[in-house]
Amino acid sequence: MSMEDYDFLFKIVLIGNAGVGKTCLVRRFTQGLFPPGQGATIGVDFMIKTVEIKGEKIKLQIWDTAGQERFRSITQSYYRSANALILTYDITCEESFRCLPEWLREIEQYANNEVITVLVGNKIDLAERREVSQQRAEEFAESQNMYYLETSAKESDNVEKLFLDLACRLISEA
Ligand code: GDP
Ligand code: MG
């Protein structure tokens, strides 16, 4: 008899405008690196990382939306089986924040009702170029029942925390 090598398997999907840092966040978490230049494309549909929390082995299947960021091109099949969504914007790009309601409409339309959504403001290492205040983002996240976290894929700030907190939450609701 074969044993599974994990206790839980969760599918996490990253969404958000192109350029906000989704691929870099996934790479930072799964491979511990920040890709140089613009060459951040993974070229595969998902990456796997297994984490251990309170003695439980949790396999995270992390899906990156490479080049499909235009609304309505990421269709139902992509969202359907997601246990969690990481909706990412760039704190130095007001436009990426203003698009969030559009993403939320997609989530409402395509994701399952139990999906856990985390709002992530990425690129906090570029504090001097910030266009969206933390308070504004927190208020928006709260109004939409989302968790909020600010990260830097570049400096590895809060990236581990993002995925580990999400894994914790996913087990507690499993
Ligand atoms: P995606 O289109 O959402 O997958 O975004 P990418 O991960 O390809 O990143 C887009 C650009 O933003 C690249 O030039 C990255 O180097 C840069 N980038 C991503 N994350 C960060 C970050 O945390 N800080 C800074 N300064 N740049 C970042
Ligand atoms: Mg990408």
pLDDT tens-place string over residues 34-83: 988 765 565 557 899 999 999 999 999 999 876 666 655 666 677 889 99
Query: Which pTM value belongs to this model?
Result: 0.94
Residue 172 Cα to ligand 1 midpoint, Å, equals: 31
**With a 6 A CB cut-off, is 130 part of the ligand 1 pocket?**
no
What pLDDT was estimated at residue 77?
74
Kindly indicate the confidence band of residue 100, based on its pLDDT and cuts at 50, 70 and 90.
Answer: very high
**With a 6 A CB cut-off, is 126 part of the ligand 1 pocket?**
yes
CB 30 within 8 A of CB 46: no
Nearest CA to ligand 1 atom 8: 40
**With a 6 A CB cut-off, is 128 part of the ligand 1 pocket?**
no
Predicted ipTM beyond 0.90 = yes
How many other β-carbons are positioned within 10 Å of the β-carbon of residue 10? 20
Share of the chain above pLDDT 70, in %: 88
pLDDT tens-place string over residues 34-45: 988 765 565 557
